[in-house]
Amino acid sequence: MIRHIVTGAGGGPPELHGGGIGRICVVSKSKYQFNGASGATEEIPLAEYVEAVGCVSAVLEVRCHAKTMGTGQQFTVNVYNTSYDPQNPSASFAEPSTRAYVTIAPSDSSPQLYTAAFSTPIAGLVRVTLKATQATSAASMDCTISVDIIARAA
C-alpha cells in the first residue's frame, strides 16, 4: 500500500485543479511510502481531475526532492486522459494508455527534475497518478515529490 505521509494538494472528484492553461499545481511537496510485497505494483491518484480544456500541448514536471529505494524498485508518475459524468459519478472514465509519464529510478540522484511532453490528443480532463513498483525482494521505499503540469493553448 502506498501511504501519503505529508499532505499535498491532491484532489478527488469532482474537485478540479488548475484553470486549463499555464502552470497547474497537481501536488505540492509530499512524501509517499510503499511497503508492498515482492514484485507488487500499486497505483494511486495524485489528482483525479485536472482541467486541460483548451490545452493543445503540455509538459509533466516532476520534482523529486528525496527518495529511498533499492535495486529493482521505481516510482512512476503517469498522466491519463479522463472524463467525469455527473450522471454516473462513481464510474471512472480513463484511457488505459498514458499521455505522459516519468520514472524515478534508484540510480537517479536527488534532488532532480523530470519532464515529459504529453502525447496528443489531450482531453478536457486528465488524471495524474503515482505508481510504485517493488523489486523481487520486498523492501520499504519512499519518495518526496511535487508535480506540476505546464499547459499551453493554441
Residue 39 CB coordination number (10 Å): 12
- Rounded to an integer, what distance in angstroms lies between the CA atom of residue 2 and that of residue 33? 5
Q: 147 pLDDT band (50/70/90 cuts)?
A: very high
Predicted pLDDT at 85 = 84
Q: Which residue has the higher pLDDT, 45 or 18?
A: 45
Return the pLDDT at 39: 80
Classified by CATH at the fold level, domain 2-153 comes out as Jelly Rolls (2.60.120)
pLDDT at 36: 77
